[in-house]
Amino acid sequence: MSGSVYSQRYQAFLQRLKAARRAAGLTQQAVAEQLNVPQSYVSKCESGERRVDVIELTEFALLYQRSLTYFAYGQDDPTDYLGVDLSTPR
């Protein structure tokens, strides 16, 4: 199994990361402000220039109100929401 940022599975993950941000109606700058990081951090995560670890992914998932399963497999699992009730907006 290739761990390259250029692997097909990782590229699909990056597409979902970007799509989740857009679906949440957020710009890279808005995400950066919420996470207290530079906008370039968000850009590098989405482009694959910077690998996303599980802690960082959890932060994105909470902000975008998506499950970790969504990022891994492309579909939400209602039992995988990090203890956050997503039935009402935050």
pLDDT score at 90: 47
* CA gap 37, 55 in Å, rounded: 14
Q: Model's pTM, two decimal places?
A: 0.79
pLDDT, tens only, 43-64: 999 999 999 999 999 999 999 9
AA identity, residue 3: G
DSSP letters spanning 31-45: HHHHHTS-HHHHHHH
Residue 71 has pLDDT above 60, yes or no: yes
Determine contact, residues 76/66, Cβ cutoff 8 Å: yes
Confidence of residue 73 (pLDDT cuts 50, 70, 90): confident
Please name the residue that has the structure tokens 């951090």.
Answer: 41
Two tokens, residue 79: 């039992």
